[in-house]
Amino acid sequence: MDKKLNRRTDIFTIIIFLCLIFIPAVLFWVTPDKKFSEDENRSLQQMPKFSLNNLVAGKFTNSMGKYYSDQFPFRNKLVGAKTLFSYAFLINENKGAVIAKDGWLIQRFDKYSEKSIAEKSSDELGGDLTFEENMRNIKNNAGYINGFAENIKDLYPDINFTVAITPRKIDVMTTKLPAFFPVDRHEKYFDELNKYINQEIYFDLLEVLRSHNDEYIYYKTDHHWTTLGAYYAYAALGEKMLYGTMPKEDFAIETASEDFYGTTWSKAGAKWIEPDKIEYYRTSYDDGYFIRRIENQEISGLYDREKLNTKDKYSSFLGGITSRISIYRGHHVSSHPEKRLLLIADSFGQSIAPFLALHYNIEIIDTRFFNDNIYDFINEYNITNVLILTNMENLSTQNNLIKLTAKPPQDNK
């Protein structure tokens, strides 16, 4: 009797073992490959093409490993289970995203490459920079901004010029970080900026936002500031840029979405974190009052509500990232503002622009994609104010602001 029972147990164990091996394998081959992961907001590895050269170089096997990892059945659920298991054992980080207090996910920026760009092979390019390269980018970009401001002052002395660097969430929401979390190197970013930026044109948003870090000023699952955070920045900038700020009580706050999962959530794999809420600060007239022009197409209003049905719900502000967006008051409106603002911004500018549009006609350019001569642009659109608004992450890792060093008109003769 015992032998029969043991035999049945062994057979059952073998069946379970074979199922664990073969069922995922069968599902892997019969399930169609996915091209994009909405959860992770990235393209997935497709079946690599075989060649002898790639096999010898190790590229084929490396790509196959990524392919199996990306296309494995129930991958998203397994990633979530792994992250939850790790969190239960007090491992509160995944892919550089910290699972912080009260459901906050905060990207860290103190992991650096050991090799400089000059030392990297062509296969190693991309990814992290060294700490020294981050600091050098801050210094260089501050120099580009200072030089641009000096040229503007010489050529257009009546233009009001302001630069404000939007802090990263980890710079502001420090009270949400786990106990004993290292912040020494994060603090050095703004120290470096303050060493090189012209203080006459610089407006410090770091302290403004830190004074509100007990409020919902950044999305918990994304790296952007919320509309409330953008409002506080707009209100503080009013004194520097000489416009009269509209009180928060005068806006009707509309909840546009309650199921926004941002880019930090995509990295963290913490599937149990609750989604964010996206709000629009509305006036009684903004739908028919403002016009957006994108690539010569005129669109009524400041929001693209169709984007609320996509993963990238933040792009519902103005319709998302593009090289240039114009915002002005409709032709049927009798009063047009004489002030014209050039807003040089990354994606953080999308959610503050609706506030600034209360005071200016706006031309928004993103130097990552804008390639025209900026001085010709200022002349053509009769710019009266300039605001540079870029995030510290971009300031320290990219050099797109070098485009501000294009020759001004008198040098182009």
Q: What is the pLDDT of residue 31?
A: 61
Which percentage of the chain shows pLDDT scores above 70?
Answer: 72
Residue with tokens 């009270």: 175
Token pair for residue 109? 């920026």
DSSP 252: E
CA distance 3 to 270: 47
CA distance 189 to 184: 10
Over residues 99-115, the mean pLDDT reads: 85
Q: What is the pLDDT of residue 81?
A: 46
Of the chain, the end-to-end C-alpha distance in Å amounts to 102
More confident residue, 72 or 410: 410
Q: What is the pLDDT of residue 289?
A: 85
Which tens digit of pLDDT belongs to each residue from 14-45? 666 555 555 555 545 556 666 665 555 556 66
CA distance 385 to 152: 10
More confident residue, 359 or 120: 359
Among 344, 328, 351, which residue's Cα sits nearest to residue 385?
344
Q: At what angle do helices 59-71 and 75-88 cross, to 10 degrees?
A: 90
The overall average pLDDT reported for the chain is 82
pLDDT at position 56 over 60: no
- Contact residues for 91 (Cβ-Cβ < 8 A; gap 6+): none
Assign 232 to helix, strand or coil.
Answer: helix
CA distance 190 to 258: 33
Q: What is the pLDDT of residue 82?
A: 47
More confident residue, 190 or 97: 190
Assign 328 to helix, strand or coil.
Answer: strand
Q: What is the pLDDT of residue 342?
A: 98
Q: What is the pLDDT of residue 85?
A: 41
Q: How confident is the model at residue 52 (pLDDT cuts 50, 70, 90)?
A: low
Amino acid identity, residue 379? N
Q: How confident is the model at residue 76 (pLDDT cuts 50, 70, 90)?
A: low
Over residues 198-206, the mean pLDDT reads: 97
Which tens digit of pLDDT belongs to each residue from 277-317? 999 999 988 877 899 999 889 999 999 999 999 989 999 99
pLDDT at position 380 over 80: yes
Token pair for residue 166? 């939007």
pLDDT at position 394 over 50: yes
Over residues 328-354, the mean pLDDT reads: 83
Token pair for residue 113? 């490459």
HEC sequence for 23-53: HHHHHHHHCCCCCEECCCCEECCCCCCCCHH
Q: How confident is the model at residue 180 (pLDDT cuts 50, 70, 90)?
A: confident
Over residues 304-332, the mean pLDDT reads: 90
- For 318, phi then psi, to 5°, come to 70, -10
Residue 158 neighbours by CB distance under 10 Å:
7
Amino acid identity, residue 50? F
Which tens digit of pLDDT belongs to each residue from 205-251? 999 999 999 999 999 999 999 999 999 999 999 999 999 999 999 99
DSSP 1: -
Lowest mean pLDDT across 42-56, 150-164, 312-326 = 42-56
CA distance 306 to 325: 18
Assign 208 to helix, strand or coil.
Answer: helix
CA distance 396 to 170: 14
Q: At what angle do helices 184-196 and 131-155 cross, to 10 degrees?
A: 30
Assign 141 to helix, strand or coil.
Answer: helix
| Beta-bridge partners for 343 | 364, 387
Token pair for residue 205? 């948003």
| Beta-bridge partners for 300 | 291
Q: What is the pTM of this model?
A: 0.80
Q: Are 134 and 117 in contact (CB under 8 A)?
A: no
Which tens digit of pLDDT belongs to each residue from 146-155? 999 999 999 9
> What angle is formed at CA 22 by the lines to CA 21 and CA 25, rounded to 5 degrees?
100
